[in-house]
Structure 1
Amino acid sequence: MSKNKLFLALLAAGVLGATAFGFYTLGRQQAAPQASEIPSAAGAQAAGDKKVLYWHDPMVPAQKFDKPGKSPFMDMQLVPVYADGGDDDGKVSISPRVQQNLGIRTAEVVQGSLASALTAVGSVAYNERDVALVQARSNGFVEKLYIRAPLDTVKKGQVLAELYVPDWIAAQEEYLAVRRMQAGAMDGRTDGSMDAVLDGARQRMRLAGMSDEQIRLVTSSGKVHARISISAPANGVIAELAAREGMSVAMGAPLFRINGMDTVWINAEVPESAAAQVRPGDVVEARTPSLPGTIFKGKVGALLPQVSAATRTLVARMELANPGGRLLPGMFATVSFNPAAAKAVLLVPTEAIIQTGTRSVVMLAQGGGSLLPTDVETGAEANGQTEIRKGLEAGQKVVVSGQFLIDSEASLRGTSSRMGGSMGESATPGNDQASGKAPAKTHHGEGKVEKIGKGDITISHGPIPSLQWGAMTMGFKLPANGLPRNVEVGDSVIFDIQPVQGGMFQIASITPTVKPANAGAKP
């Protein structure tokens, strides 16, 4: 019997111990969550320490609200924007690990010069400054023609034609007659009057078109020379031939046009966008398929002040030496422009530039994962490098891959540097007319003025059915001509609004609500 009592006592002790252990364990499990609530509360308090700047709809970031609630644009709650949330100036923060996962690469803004890679195709033409025009100096007849076809090559001094000039005969005979009268004087003396007559006869030969050399020939030979030999004044090619044997010519009539071949022009088409890289005096090198391996060097003579409406190109005129006359008019030539050494400029990879159509933007890396959209002014471009004239400094880093994703994030935050215009414009109900020619639609509402700022007014308004808005407090842009003087904070007002660019709404008209005369009387 004592053994049974002992067994029962031990069993009871075991049950009590197990029960005590169970309550102990349960107590710890219940106590653990309570203990874990302490850091959570601290974290919540830390999150609560952040100052909320405003609430907004991420799809219409330009519209700001001073209270939380449902978005009037989308079926979603408004999102708070904190003072340290990176919204200012469009700054976007991305951790280095996420940047690595997105494949975001950066490059440094460096200082250097752009190597020219500009080439253009042109054609060879005569140098119009190296032209000799041969004309008839007197009325006459072409008796003999030695050059009978255009494009014949001539040398300087080569006889081109012989002309018979009747007007010369009378002038030469008069001159010779005066000389004979002077020589046949009985006393062998001249009284000076014959010298004057002789000079007059010599002048009449000059007026008839005779050169001094031809006059000396008449004087030395004492014979009449009624024919003249026309010689080439320079080496070149007969570009125009207007004389034929037997034809009569008048004084001043063109007979031959001779183009020199010592130098030629190459007229090359330069794209309008690259015209700034070409300047008069720049050294060029020309190559032509007809002379493989031969390089002709010259300089840019002029950039003609005319743009082709069809090809959007300008004509650059180069003057090149043509030894041996191997470059012929009409030949095609490839011209490489080698401008003088350019000054050092800021350069970034061309792929870092985001072209919006109206501006050029780069994503500037500021350290610590912060990225900032920055407007830049670009210049020349060559070999994958673009000149930056304004907006960056040497040593800064810009994003060269993944920048479109970052810029999209910046656009959702309503930054001033977002691309392609305002996103909120397309997401705003009733705003289709804002970008068109038709006037924007107005919407009517009633509410109370909560705050008046420099450029905006905050109103707690009731529902606006035309926009499917519920009652809320939100800000509007002030009217273009300002608020009426009788509108103050705390006034009940009726107002009309209309959409403007950026997803915002502007007060079109606003009027205080007139209070009844007995509004303040007690019943």
Structure 2
Amino acid sequence: MNRFSRHALAPLLLLPVLVQAAAPIALDAAAQAAFGIELIAPEAVEHSLGRRYPAEVRVPNPQLRVVAARQDGVLERLAVAEGDRVAAGDLLAELRSPALVDIQRQYLEALIRLELAEGELARDRQLHREGVIAERRLREREATQRELATQVEQQRQLLRLAGFAETELAELDRNHTLTSTLSVRAPISGVVLEQLVETGESVAQAAPLYRIGQLDPLWLEIHVPLDELDGIAPGTRVQLPALAREAVVTTVGRQVHALDQGVLVRAEIGDAGTVLRPGQFIEVQLARATGAGWRLPAAALVRDGDTTLVFVARDGGFAPQPVELLGASDDQVVVGGALGAGDRVAVSGVIAIKAAWQGGE
């Protein structure tokens, strides 16, 4: 029976069994050397790497701060620039602001009125204990003191919103000295990612001055086609081939982006601030769970009709072994099938082995 009639008569589902039962291909050592046949042991794996996707490096939102001007004014000094490392509380810039003087004046006026009210309250308490004044007058004095204390706290909060540190507030309380210079300080430790203004520039309140980010960990944002999302979930490993590093998927988005019909997959990578930079694009591969499988070079695979085969070394030759393709990336594949760690699979010269096998049928 020739090969064509065998395929015509045998059901497709029995084809792997027929192939597996075929007689071994006899090739002695001399023939193997002549054909340039090389052998390799399959590597047991439970994941396969898919095709490569571009990923954008991002600073996680909780680790990013935009430092803005707290008051209108003119930038007299910029103490840091893009790329500098800063610690929380470090001076970033100095801003001269006339509006700051008015806020301090209102605070000191409220503080003085409170001090007077507290002195009068202490005196009235003494007079009430001696029976000189009525209780109603004492209660009115206490209400006035509480109202003025609230005004002082309100003005203190306005100074904090203007950028005054607690040490600067304490200095103002002691010396009552007004200043028009506002110090802008780093809210977090990190790296200056962007400088948005220049020295001498007039800025409005809330105008952004710097962007500061903490670079550990970092996010990798990947757009994966909707039809390739199978097997991707939080916890999926992400390989960075160029760096031999690994990230872990934390989020799989629910929205399909109109521009590329991709779904956002976000991964997190730690301790990478020295090798990755925000805004950088880098190629990544997602490790999909495949169950038990075997990693081989793609060159080991051959096709026989609808069946994928590898040739496994046997005494005096090779035997065709049907396998199922579970995943592929670059020049590597992951297959499932009746292979073992002790098997030796042909990875070169497979065309010659296939020709010898078909010629012997």
Q: Tell me which interval the TM-score lies in, with the shorter structure as reference length.
A: 0.5 to 0.7
Distance in 2 of aligned mates of 1:336 and 1:307? 20
Letter in 2 for 1:325: T
Letter in 2 for 1:117: L
Task: Choose between structure 1 and 2: higher helix proportion.
Answer: 2
The equivalent of 1:120 in structure 2 is: 52
Shift of 1:257: 1.5
Shift of 1:272: 5.1
> What per-residue deviation string (whole Å, max 9, x for no partner) do you get for residues 173-223 of structure 1?
333344445556589637432452243134134236345724444224433
> What secondary structure sits across from 1:257 in the alignment?
strand
Query: Relative to structure 1, is the Cα distance of residues 217 and 273 closer, same or farther in structure 2, using a 3 angstrom cutoff?
Result: same
> What per-residue deviation string (whole Å, max 9, x for no partner) do you get for residues 355-375 of structure 1?
9xxxxxxxxxxxxxxxxxxxx
Distance in 1 of aligned mates of 2:78 and 2:205? 18
The equivalent of 2:256 in structure 1 is: 306
Letter in 2 for 1:197: L
Which of 203, 214, 217 in structure 1 is aligned with 2:154?
203
Alignment of 1:315-330 (within 5 A): 316-329=265-278
Distance in 1 of aligned mates of 2:169 and 2:228? 58
Shift of 1:328: 1.9
Which of 73, 79, 85 in structure 2 is aligned with 1:140?
73
Distance in 1 of aligned mates of 2:147 and 2:183? 30
Distance in 1 of aligned mates of 2:269 and 2:214? 13
> What per-residue deviation string (whole Å, max 9, x for no partner) do you get for residues 322-347 of structure 1?
34532124555342323457599xxx
> What secondary structure sits across from 1:318 in the alignment?
strand
> What secondary structure sits across from 2:76 in the alignment?
strand
* Percent identity for Structure 1 against Structure 2: 22
The equivalent of 1:27 in structure 2 is: none
> What secondary structure sits across from 1:171 in the alignment?
helix
Query: Relative to structure 1, is the Cα distance of residues 230 and 102 closer, same or farther in structure 2, using a 3 angstrom cutoff?
Result: same
Count how many residue pairs are aligned between Structure 1 and Structure 2. Answer: 260
Shift of 1:166: 2.2
> What secondary structure sits across from 2:266 in the alignment?
strand
So what's the TM-score if we normalise by structure 2? Answer: 0.56
Shift of 1:246: 2.6
Which of 232, 247, 257 in structure 2 is aligned with 1:278?
232
Higher normalized contact order (CA 8 Å, seq sep 6+, divided by chain length):
2
Letter in 1 for 2:78: L
CA contact (8 A) 1:117 1:337 kept: yes
So what's the TM-score if we normalise by structure 1? Answer: 0.40
Query: Relative to structure 1, is the Cα distance of residues 332 and 145 closer, same or farther in structure 2, using a 3 angstrom cutoff?
Result: closer
Alignment of 1:148-167 (within 5 A): 149-167=81-99
Distance in 1 of aligned mates of 2:56 and 2:64? 16
CA RMSD in angstroms, aligned pairs only: 4.6
Letter in 2 for 1:264: L
Distance in 2 of aligned mates of 1:189 and 1:225? 35
Query: Relative to structure 1, is the Cα distance of residues 138 and 343 closer, same or farther in structure 2, using a 3 angstrom cutoff?
Result: farther
Shift of 1:282: 0.8
> What per-residue deviation string (whole Å, max 9, x for no partner) do you get for residues 358-403 of structure 1?
xxxxxxxxxxxxxxxxxxxx9965547589xxxxxxxxxxxxx9xx
CA contact (8 A) 2:82 2:194 kept: yes
Higher Cα radius of gyration? 1
The equivalent of 2:185 in structure 1 is: 231
2:173 is the counterpart of 1:266: no
Distance in 1 of aligned mates of 2:286 and 2:98? 57
> What secondary structure sits across from 2:6 in the alignment?
helix
The equivalent of 1:175 in structure 2 is: 107
> What secondary structure sits across from 1:243 in the alignment?
coil
Q: Which runs of 5+ in 2 are unaligned?
A: 19-43, 125-140, 294-300, 308-323, 338-353, 355-361
> What per-residue deviation string (whole Å, max 9, x for no partner) do you get for residues 256-315 of structure 1?
122321122334454554321322331223232xxxxx53222123345336777x7655
Q: Which runs of 5+ in 1 are unaligned?
A: 1-93, 289-293, 356-377, 388-400, 402-523
Alignment of 1:74-85 (within 5 A): none
